């Protein structure tokens, strides 16, 4: 398989049109960034309420079950959500509607089939899971509820990618940052007011995700109809580019493996070696640390389809400009969050989660450093995938996944949640360094753009002070 599959076609555009594409991406990303802040504000309120209301063991059981559901989502998605932002963008740009519809139908049918199989598998093996992997009965019961989130969230990722392709940040803003978090806040308030237990919370989360994804599907249908996309639809003309899609997405399952290992396996190991209380110690502060990637994620959503279109036009100079404009903005806007979550980790932990979680302050500081380092260098991982640098991406993904698993197996049995934080932060930093180095593999993107040197010097000085 060639690293340069889907070779770019050379299409010359005027400088004015090039600038419009970049400015449109920045404006759309800015709207999503505002949405991220609103959503994170609501999510923070939810997190604080849940952690303070539930016992530490109940919260740990809930977090454990969510971690398993996240693994289930990764398996259900099978990397096919990437086919939406990359291939649908390219096929739509080239007016190859037969392949565009084939890609969409292939992704949806695969996710639904894998999702149903996943749920049946967990229910069929529930006895073995409860007896062999974790002894906490509450965690096992919650898992059988929250596993339904896996296929629902997989579909949500596909629909979000579709809206990004057709430049509808407003719809993403409403669904992802207003409706979903708002309904979950209602569930948590009902949980507290009714003095219900953690199973009520789990059922509420599944119900909310299902409702909002159904609404998202309706909005997407209306958007596609408004674009006149369905005029090009014909069952007889559909061509499923399975080879092209799978040759790109299946190798990149290694990327999913990295994030599963770094994002979920630590909770599984903590539950196995220590119990749900240690899971709570780690998971209670992790959302706070992830705030350092808030801007990175909001800018990244529209980065991939815009960069893919530029790649299709072989406009590498403009991709370089797009990359470093985004990276500089991400580093600057994210820095105040880093200063709070790293330098003031202990008072922030006590303020938000109470004295029960005082020991999690050092975990917050370590994770914050790793997440900010990853954010400050921009969309290196997404860029490598747009350029089809599959072999390199797969190689470093597998290396980092194995390294992180090994480090966690070494540190968690000895140091518990602190060991998990050290292992995750350290491998995250190394992972980002390797991705940044990969930009030198013929992408035309500078490993560092010296026009922005002053920005990074000021940031480094502020962090050191």
Strand residue runs (E) in 84-143: none
Classify residue 40: in a domain, yes or no: yes
Classify residue 311: in a domain, yes or no: yes
The percentage of the chain sitting over the pLDDT mark of 90, rounded to a whole number, equals 26
Q: Which pLDDT does position 8 carry in this prediction?
A: 45
What is the pLDDT averaged over residues 362-376? 93
Number of domains in the chain: 1
Asked whether the CA dihedral 319, 320, 322, 323 is positive or negative, the reply is positive
* Euclidean distance between CA atoms 344 and 348, whole angstroms: 6
Classify residue 8: in a domain, yes or no: no
CB within 8 A of 53, min separation 6: which ones?
A: 188, 191, 192
What is the pLDDT averaged over residues 308-331? 79
Give the structural domain span for 159: 17-464
Classify residue 12: in a domain, yes or no: no
Comparing 162-171, 217-226, 430-439, which segment has the lowest mean pLDDT? 162-171
Classify residue 5: in a domain, yes or no: no
Q: Which pLDDT does position 49 carry in this prediction?
A: 94
Classify residue 325: in a domain, yes or no: yes
What is the pLDDT averaged over residues 314-329? 79
Dihedral-angle region of residue 404 (phi above 0 means left; psi in -120 to 50 means alpha; beta otherwise): alpha
Contact 159, 19 (CB under 8 A): no
More confident residue, 11 or 407: 407
Comparing 108-117, 127-136, 143-152, 172-181, which segment has the lowest mean pLDDT? 127-136
Q: Which pLDDT does position 369 carry in this prediction?
A: 93
- pTM to 2 decimals? 0.76
- Say whether pLDDT at 28 is over 70: no
Contact 285, 360 (CB under 8 A): yes
* Euclidean distance between CA atoms 87 and 73, whole angstroms: 21
* Euclidean distance between CA atoms 82 and 388, whole angstroms: 12
Classify residue 369: in a domain, yes or no: yes
Dihedral-angle region of residue 301 (phi above 0 means left; psi in -120 to 50 means alpha; beta otherwise): alpha
Classify residue 439: in a domain, yes or no: yes
Q: Which pLDDT does position 13 carry in this prediction?
A: 43
């Amino acid at each position: 398989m060639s690293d340069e599959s889907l070779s770019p076609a050379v299409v010359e555009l005027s400088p004015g049109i090039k600038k419009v594409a970049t400015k449109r991406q920045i404006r759309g990303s800015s709207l999503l960034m505002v949405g991220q802040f609103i959503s994170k504000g609501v999510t923070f309120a939810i997190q604080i309420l849940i952690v303070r209301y539930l016992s530490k063991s109940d919260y740990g059981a809930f977090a454990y079950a969510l971690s398993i559901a996240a693994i289930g989502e990764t398996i259900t998605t099978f990397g096919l959500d990437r086919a939406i932002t990359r291939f649908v963008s390219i096929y739509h740009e080239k007016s190859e509607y037969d392949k565009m519809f084939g890609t969409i139908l292939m992704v949806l049918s695969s996710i639904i089939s894998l999702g149903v199989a996943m749920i049946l598998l967990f229910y069929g093996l529930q006895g073995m899971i409860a007896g062999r992997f974790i002894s906490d009965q509450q965690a096992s019961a919650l898992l059988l509820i929250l596993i339904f989130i896996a296929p629902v969230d997989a579909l949500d990722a596909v629909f979000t990618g579709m809206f990004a392709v057709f430049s509808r940040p407003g719809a993403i803003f409403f669904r992802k940052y207003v409706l979903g978090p708002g309904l979950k806040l209602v569930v948590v308030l009902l949980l507290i007011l009714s003095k219900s237990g953690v199973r009520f919370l789990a059922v509420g989360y599944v119900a909310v995700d299902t409702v909002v994804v159904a609404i998202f599907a309706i909005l997407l249908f209306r958007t596609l109809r408004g674009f006149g996309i369905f005029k090009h639809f014909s069952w007889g003309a559909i061509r499923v580019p399975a080879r092209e899609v799978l040759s790109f997405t299946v190798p990149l399952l290694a990327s999913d493996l990295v994030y599963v290992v770094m994002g979920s396996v630590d909770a599984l190991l903590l539950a196995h070696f220590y119990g749900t209380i240690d899971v709570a110690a780690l998971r209670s502060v992790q959302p706070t640390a992830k705030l350092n990637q808030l801007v990175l994620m909001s800018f990244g959503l529209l980065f991939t389809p815009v960069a893919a279109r530029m790649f299709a036009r072989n406009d590498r100079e403009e991709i370089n400009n797009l990359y470093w404009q985004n990276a500089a903005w991400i580093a600057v806007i994210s820095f105040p969050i880093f200063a709070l979550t790293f330098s003031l980790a202990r008072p922030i932990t006590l303020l938000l989660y109470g004295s029960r979680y005082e020991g999690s302050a050092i975990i917050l500081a370590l994770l914050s450093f790793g997440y900010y380092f990853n954010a400050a260098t921009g969309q290196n991982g997404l860029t490598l995938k747009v350029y089809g640098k599959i072999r390199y991406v797969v190689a470093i993904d597998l290396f980092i996944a194995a390294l992180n698993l090994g480090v966690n197996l070494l540190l968690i049995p000895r140091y518990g949640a602190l060991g998990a934080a050290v292992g995750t932060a350290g491998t995250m930093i190394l992972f980002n360094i390797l991705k940044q180095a990969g930009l030198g593999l013929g992408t035309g993107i500078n490993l560092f753009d010296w026009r922005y040197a002053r920005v990074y010097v000021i940031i480094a000085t502020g962090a050191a002070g």
